[in-house]
Each structure stands twice: as C-alpha cells, then as structure tokens.
Amino acid sequence: MDVALSVRDLRAYYLTSHFGVEREVRAVDDITLSVEKKEIYGIAGESSCGKSTFIRTIAAAIRPPLRVLGGSIRYSFLDRDLYDLDERALTEMRWKHLSCILQGSMNVLNPVRRVRESFKDFASPHMGLARSVFFDAVKAHLNRLRLSPTVLSAFPHELSGGMRQRVAIALATVCRPEFIIADEPTTALDVVVQKDVLALILEMQREIGSSMIFVTHDLTVHANISNRLGIMYAGRLVEEGSTRDILRDPMHPYTRHLIASLPRIGDVTPKKGLSGAPPSLADPPSGCRFHPRCPLAMDICRQAHPELTALAPGRRVACYAVSPLVQPAHEAAAARKATKADKSAAFLQ
Amino acid sequence: MGGLLGRTRFAAIDDVSFSLEAARPEIFAIIGESGSGKTTLARMILNTLAPSKGIIRFLGEDISRFRGRREQLQFMRKVQPIFQNPFEAFNPLKRVDRYLFASAYHFAGHHGRAGREAAADEALKKVGLSLAEVKGRFPHELSGGQLQRAAIARALISSPALIVADEPVSMVDASLRMSIVNLFKTLRDELRVSIIYITHDLATAYYISDRVLIMQKGKVVETGPARQVLSNPQHPYTVLLRESILSPDDVDKSHLAGAA
Amino acid sequence: MLRVFRDLFRYNREFAAGTILVLIVLSLVVASFFSPYPPQDSYVVPPDVPPCWAYPLGTNSRGQDVFWQLTVAIRNSLLFGIAVAFLSRIISLAIGLVSGYTGGLVDRVLMSINDTFVVIPQFPILTLFYFMMHDHMSWTLLALAMASLGWPYDARLIRSVALSLRNREFTAQSVFSGMSTRQILLEEHLPYVLPIVFSTTMNNINWSIGLEVTLSVIGFTNIETPTIGTMIYWANQHTAMVAGIWWWVVAPVATVIMTFIGLFLLSVSMNEFIDPRSRLARMGV
C-alpha cells in the first residue's frame, strides 16, 4: 500500500509567556504514524489529549503560542516536508490537495457572505475554470451530494446545522483533494443528521479516493467510519490498530476502559468510570502518562515512558503490562541506533 | 400522596404533561434533539421561566406563585439543577468552594464557618470527593469530572427532593462520564432523590433511567418505562432515533455502508 | 502585587512610560504640602521673574511662585478628577449591573434614563449650572454636577457585559446556591466588569480635568480655588502671553498634558493586564 501521509516524531508545544510567567504545554509529544492511500485513519481521545493540536500541526495551521519543535510531516503529493513550504506553496496546496471539514462549519463559511462566495474564494483559484464553467462544476458536485443548487445563494445562518455541514463537505471535496482532515465533523449534530452526514463523508471519500484523518472522541462513530484507529492520551499515541481489532480486543488499559464503558442500548451491566483525571499537559506525569490512573501500573511505568511498539502486523501499543516486547522509549531509540550502526559497520566490512 | 410534579401543561412547549411520585424516587429521562424544547422545559421546571399556559405543581403547589425571595429559597431547597458544562457552571475567577458554602449557609442554615465546612464536606463525600480536594481551588485546577461532582455535591447540600440535570455528561470526558452517570443511580437509591435527566443520548438514558419521555419539536411523542420504550419503540420518530444511533458493535456491518 | 507591578514595568513599555509620567505628577502633588507660601497669597515674591535658580518656573504678575502655585493647582485638579471619576463609576456600575442582570422593565426604564443623559449636551448644561449657582459655585458642587453627567456611556458598556454574564451557567449556579441579587452582582459579576471600570476611570479623570480646565479658563468656576484651569484663567486675565510671561501659561499646560498622557498610557496597559482572559492565562488555565 502507498503511504499518503507520514508523520515522524512530531512534537508541538504551546510556549507562552504572560508577564514573565513562562509555560510549556506539551500537546503533541513524539507522534509517529502513517496514513495509507484511500484509508480513513481515526484518531480518538478525550478533550485536551492533543488531538486538535495534532490536526492543526499536520494542516500547517499553527499560530503562536503553538510551535512545532521537531519531527517531520510528509504528504505523498508534496516533494518536501510540510514545514519547508513557503506561504504561497501552502495556499496553493490547501483545498486542492489538502482540505478540512471542521466541527463548526460556521468557521469555514463566512457568516456575512453567501455560500456562493465561499466557493469562489476557496475553490475557484485552484480549479482554474471560467466562472460559468466553475459554477456548473460546483452545481454538479452539489448534486452528487444531494444538495440543491439554491444553497449557493443562501447565507450560512439560513441553513440548518446538518445542511451547513453538508455544504462544508461539498466545499472540502469539490477540488477532489488527495487528503481530507475531518475534525469532529458530526459532534454538534443530532443523531439522525449525524448518520446522514457520516454516510455522505464516507461516500465522498470513496468516490474521490482520498485519504482521510478523522478525529472524534466518539468511538461509536469510529466503529462506523474509520479503517484504522489511533488512541491518544495526554499528547501521545498509546495504541494503534485496525478499528475492528481495537474494538474487539483492546490492549492498552486506557483503550480497554474506554471500550468497556461505552453504554449500549440493551446492555444494563454496570459500567465503571476511570478514577483520577486526565493529566495537565503543562506538567505531565513521569514515565507513562497514564500510570496515575492505570490499574496495572508497575514501577517501570512511573520511570520511563513506553515505546509505541509493533506487537502484531499493524498493531502498535505503548504499555509495559501488555507485552514484554514493549521497552522504554529511550532504550528503544538507542537500540535502533545500534542496529543502524551495526548495519553500516557490516556494510563497510 | 401528592405528585411531586403534577399535571404540567405548556402551550409554548406544546401540551406536555407528566408527573413524578414523591414517594418513589426515580430517574426520569427527557430525550430530545436540539430544538425539541427540552431545555425550555427544564427551565420551566426550575421556575426560571414561566410557562405561558399551564401549571407546574410541586408537592401540590403551583410553582409560578413562588415569587418572593423566601418562597423561592424554599423552592430551591427542594429542587436543584445540574448544568451542562462543568467549566461554565463555576465562575472561573472564583473558588469552587464558595458555591458549596453559600448553599450550606442559605439552605442548611449553617452560619458558622465550621458548620458550613462540615456540610460541604459531607455532601462532597457523597459524590466521592472531600473538602480537602476542593477547598481553595479554582475551577481550572479541577478536572471536568471533579467539577461536575462538586456541582452535584452543591445541589445535594439542601437535601433536595428533585434534581433537574440538563445534559449533565455531554461535556464530561468519556473516561469520567460513567462515574457521573452511576452517581445519579446512587442518589436515587441511597439518598432517595428524584432526577429529571435531560439528554439527547439514548444509550445513557437506557442505562440509568426508569422512565423516558421522548420529545420532538415541543411535543411528547412517546413515554413509558425506559427499557420498553427504547428496546421496542412504537412512535415513528422514536423508531427513527433508535435506528440512527450508531453502535460500537457495527464495526463490520456499518449502517453507513448502505448509503455508499 | 509587587511582582505584578515589577513584571508590568519590565514587559509593558506603555505601563513604564505611564507610570513615570504619573509619578512626576504625583511628586508635584506631594511637593504642594511643602509650599513655603500659602497658595492664595499674592505678592510674596517679586513679580514677573523668568525661570531661574531661585524660582525654577519663574514668578507671575501677581507675585506668586509659579512652581509652588502649580503644585497646589495640579493637586486640586487631580483630586477633582478622581472625585468625579469615583462618583460617576459608582453610578455607572450600579445602573449597568442592575440593568443588565435584572432585564425586563427595570432595564428599559434605566436605559431610557441612560440614553437621555447620553444625548444631553454637557457643556451648555454646566455653563447653565454656573449661572444658576454663581457665587455659591464650589469645587464640591461642580464635582457632583460633573459626576452626574459622566456615567452614561460607561453604564451602557457595563450593562452589555452584565447582560452576557446573566446567561452564563455560573450565574444560575449562584442563584441556586441561594445567593442574593446583591451578592451575585458584587461578588460574581463585578470582577468581570472591573477591567472596564479601571480603564474608564483613567479616561474619566482625563475627561473631567479637561472639562474643568475649559470651564475655568473662561471663568465659569470658583476662580479662587487654584487649579490648572484657574491658573490659566489668571494668566489670561493678566494677558501673560502678550506681556511675554510665557512661563505662567506653559507650566500648567505642560503639566496637564503630562497628566493626560500618563493616565491614558496607564489605562491602556492596565486594561490589557486586568482583562479576565489575560488574567486567566496568568493563572495557568
């Protein structure tokens, strides 16, 4: 399979200084993952686990105090790292190759301009079509999304929440981008509408064959839309695998808890909440960031944070209690370096 | 034994009637989508919004007649709210404990500092916290789950007969959500508090409530025992809601696939 | 508090400049208590001496030392500005908070009074006031009159904040904790409007000093009380500029400009500092 996006050792912190009070919030810490072509990669996690920061970082939409401190982000359609592009190249890339569907679609659609203008602003420069041809293409696209062309002359506030989200999807897909980032696109919607919007996103993604990162805290949504799933906790990726494997057989204690506590209709067995609270990213716990709340915590968990280790094909977990293969991250890094050195030494001989 | 809430009839919210028994505490879920009028209904039950038509009776008395401060305090002692967003429900510039102490002062008559602290501590213990964890803290120093527990503790100080909780867990993180939901069960079974649980989430409603009332555009479309209504819905709208719910068990047979 | 002050001084250039200017003005005020001559007395020094070592700002045609005269004048002017600002803040806070929180009929009545005061032309009213009072005109009376004209804009501003606070969940939480309306307004909502109050206080001091100077220059106040305005009035009476006694006019004008700029800079920088959002950021939210 081809890789559409490859993120390596990404680290993005919020560095703030207010009247001499310096703070560092480690929202994204050492994240490595790759998204394959035509795949929907789901990211799940609680509020302030860093998933929104991650999204902002890979969309090159960071502003101070958020700073990228290290790592690389490579998209298949770019010949270099995302952060080596200049402002013009970024503008060129947005909407054409990389587009976003956000939770509040109001943020994308200008509230005081008609929907038509938003299409003209975002999509028209990339499609390079004459005005009438462009709007014919847009109308055809809206038609595919089962939207009436009349939405073009509406103001965003005249549309219902579900309608607006459909328009946002149309806007994000009209240039047929290779990569789509969806950040909680259905969270604010009612369940009936949510199902339709999800179906629409899935349909569009399949039709244009783009890859997608789909972020939501809601595992039931992931179960229905994501091919693979990454679970984030306190700025780190703690587990990754195919959605089916993770939902059927979660390995990390945090994932296990999340899945066990999902309420289902027809199920009245007592569900438990997790004790403790998500850690502050300004002062994360030592070692594994989950250890203060973990029922399986051991001594090593308090000392060194576990490397996200491949335990089976396509399955990575960062927890010492799951497998003896999981090692502290710094040792794993040293080991990697050593094998590399060995190989080069062998090559020289 | 009079109804705790009886013969309610709204015109703004169209013709909604239900009652809760004072002697048999229960969790009564009001389920509706956005715009169904469930929040308006909550505000009317809390007497912060007057119905344009119809009567809400609490222990036999029309609550719209509680206008003076003493009567209102009297009413608030028995009916308390829990809010949606725990971070919004406490003034970010003020310490969390002040609300607990104010409740102890006004509702439980603890004028001395020791009495207030004892009352707050007792209420916090009921929700699995203690005054030591909350005292002197600002909202941002506590997690969403802790804040929501503190809010519930605050509501409990006056020993209310009814708690109106408007989407109390929708802003609480998944890992903490069920402990709050379970807390409502404990309140019902051990403290004998009735709870009106307002939500859009059918799954948690199924998990904790005794009875449900489904609202659509200000009208009641279906009501009855929770398990029965949600497992075997009769009204077309309830059927639609039930079918729209995604399940984590759909991982191989996604309902969405049909559309593609 | 001291650390906050130090940090502000170090990281905020407006604050540093404003503080220095205001400190200069304040040291003049302090100096007034050490004046070797009573401020009203005339012909205690030789008249019309240009600035020199003995009289750093010169002396005027009435035989007063301009420097010592100035210290008393700026003290009275500043005191006047503070009094007006203090009184009008109380009115605007009371009206703004009550109006925004209560809403309904109370809000409509209070805001119609408010808007009436907004459109009343202040200068003609104060002129009329002077003609009515004439010899009874005093420092206190003028402060009261100006305070009752200086609140409406800020009351509206405060109301708009109170209006949004009313619908916040924590307000309902306070109500259901049994807090009284007075408690909610003073303890829950006041901290949110304080930044507005602080920055408008500086502006209001400026406004009232400015208006007092205007009225004094044309003699519509009690000209026996030395203020920046009456100083300029007397200088004009003795045609100081024509007579070449420029120091008599330049000294009060420069001082009042320094006060204006100092207070303005402080108001701008304090506003940024007291803003709840920046405050929350410092608390580490």
pLDDT, tens digit, for every residue of A302-339?
988 898 999 988 899 999 998 888 888 878 777 777 77
Contact C11 A23 (CB under 8 A): no
pLDDT, tens digit, for every residue of A192-239?
888 888 988 998 899 889 999 999 988 999 999 999 999 999 999 999
Cα(first)–Cα(last) distance of chain A, in Å?
34
pLDDT recorded at residue A347? 56
Cα C49 from chain centroid (whole Å): 33
What is the radius of gyration, based on Cα positions, of chain A?
A: 22
Q: Is the pLDDT of residue A155 over 90?
A: no
Contact A282 C4 (CB under 8 A): no
pLDDT, tens digit, for every residue of C181-207?
999 999 999 988 887 788 788 889 999
Closest residue of A to B237, CA-based? A192
Which chains would you list as touching A if contact means 3+ CB atom pairs under 8 Å? B, C
Q: Is the pLDDT of residue C1 over 70?
A: no
C176 touches chain B (CB under 8 A): yes
| Averaged pLDDT, A49-77 | 88
B50 in any annotated domain? yes
- What is the pLDDT confidence band of residue B53, given thresholds at 50, 70 and 90? confident
B242 touches chain A (CB under 8 A): yes
C278 touches chain A (CB under 8 A): yes
pLDDT recorded at residue B259? 42
CB pairs under 8 A between B and C: 68
B161 in any annotated domain? yes
Beta bridge partners of A16: A23
Q: Is the pLDDT of residue C284 over 60?
A: no
Assigned token pair, B3: 């109804």
Closest residue of A to C5, CA-based? A19
Domains annotated on chain A, with CATH = 3-226 (3.40.50.300)
B48 contact residues in C (CB cutoff 8 A): 172, 175
Give the CA distances from residue C232 to residues A151, A235, C130, C222, C245, in Å, rounded to whole numbers and listed in that order: 67, 66, 18, 13, 12
pLDDT recorded at residue C261? 93
pLDDT recorded at residue B7? 46
Closest residue of B to A245, CA-based? B251
What is the DSSP annotation of B45-90?
HTTSS--SSS--EETTEEGGG--SHHHHHHHHHHEEEE-S-TTTSS
| Averaged pLDDT, A71-99 | 89
The residues near C256 (Cβ < 8 Å, ≥ 6 apart) are C74, C77, C209, C213, C228
B95 in any annotated domain? yes
Cα A341 from chain centroid (whole Å): 34
pLDDT recorded at residue A233? 92
Which chains would you list as touching C if contact means 3+ CB atom pairs under 8 Å? A, B
C-alpha distance from C111 to closest chain B C-alpha (Å): 23
Number of structural domains in chain B: 1
Beta bridge partners of A241: A229
B258 in any annotated domain? no
pLDDT recorded at residue B9? 43
**Higher model confidence: residue C6 or residue A214?**
A214
pLDDT, tens digit, for every residue of B86-128?
888 999 889 999 999 999 999 988 888 899 999 999 999 988 8
Given a contact cutoff of 8 angstroms between Cβ atoms, the answer to whether C257 and C209 are in contact is no
Given a contact cutoff of 8 angstroms between Cβ atoms, the answer to whether C176 and B76 are in contact is yes
Q: Which residues constitute the domain of residue B229?
A: 3-245
Contact B251 A198 (CB under 8 A): no
A293 contact residues in B (CB cutoff 8 A): 175
Spell out the domain ranges in chain C: 2-283
User: Choosing among A40, A265, A268, which should be mutated to test the B contact, i.e. which has the most B CBs within 10 A?
Assistant: A265
What is the DSSP annotation of B136-156?
T--GGGS-HHHHHHHHHHHHH
C-alpha distance from A217 to closest chain B C-alpha (Å): 8
Q: Is the pLDDT of residue B10 over 50?
A: no
ipTM of the complex: 0.86
Q: In chain C, what's the furthest Cα-to-Cα distance?
A: 73
What is the DSSP annotation of chain C?
-HHHHHHHHHH-HHHHHHHHHHHHHHHHHHHHTT-SS-TT--SSS-TTPPS-SSSTT-B-TTS-BHHHHHHHHHHHHHHHHHHHHHHHHHHHHHHHHHHHHH-HHHHHHHHHHHHHHHHS-HHHHHHHHHHHHGGG--HHHHHHHHHTTSSHHHHHHHHHHHHHHHTSHHHHHHHHTT--HHHIIIIIIHHHHHHHHHHHHHHHHHHHHHHHHHHHHTT-S-TTS--HHHHHHHHHHTTHHHHT-THHHHHHHHHHHHHHHHHHHHHHHHHHHH-HHHHHHHHT-
pLDDT, tens digit, for every residue of A261-278?
888 888 888 888 787 778
Q: State the DSSP H helix or E strand holding residue B196, giving kind and residue range, or none if neither.
A: strand B194-199
Contact A273 B143 (CB under 8 A): no
The residues near C199 (Cβ < 8 Å, ≥ 6 apart) are C267, C268, C270, C271, C274
Given a contact cutoff of 8 angstroms between Cβ atoms, the answer to whether C237 and C7 are in contact is no
CATH number, residue B57: 3.40.50.300
pLDDT, tens digit, for every residue of A110-151?
888 888 888 888 888 887 788 888 888 889 888 888 888 888
Contact B99 C174 (CB under 8 A): yes
B248 touches chain A (CB under 8 A): yes
Assigned token pair, C236: 């004009």
What is the CATH code of the structural domain delimited by C2-283?
1.10.3720.10
Q: Is the pLDDT of residue B4 over 70?
A: no
C-alpha distance from A315 to closest chain C C-alpha (Å): 36
Contact A21 C284 (CB under 8 A): yes
C-alpha distance from B65 to closest chain A C-alpha (Å): 36
Contact C282 A19 (CB under 8 A): yes
- What is the pLDDT confidence band of residue A105, given thresholds at 50, 70 and 90? low
B154 in any annotated domain? yes
Q: Is the pLDDT of residue B12 over 50?
A: no
pLDDT, tens digit, for every residue of C58-99?
888 888 888 998 999 999 999 999 999 999 999 999 999 999
User: Choosing among B175, B199, B245, which should be mutated to test the A contact, i.e. which has the most A CBs within 10 A?
Assistant: B175
C-alpha distance from A32 to closest chain C C-alpha (Å): 28
Average pLDDT, chain A: 86
Contact A20 C11 (CB under 8 A): yes
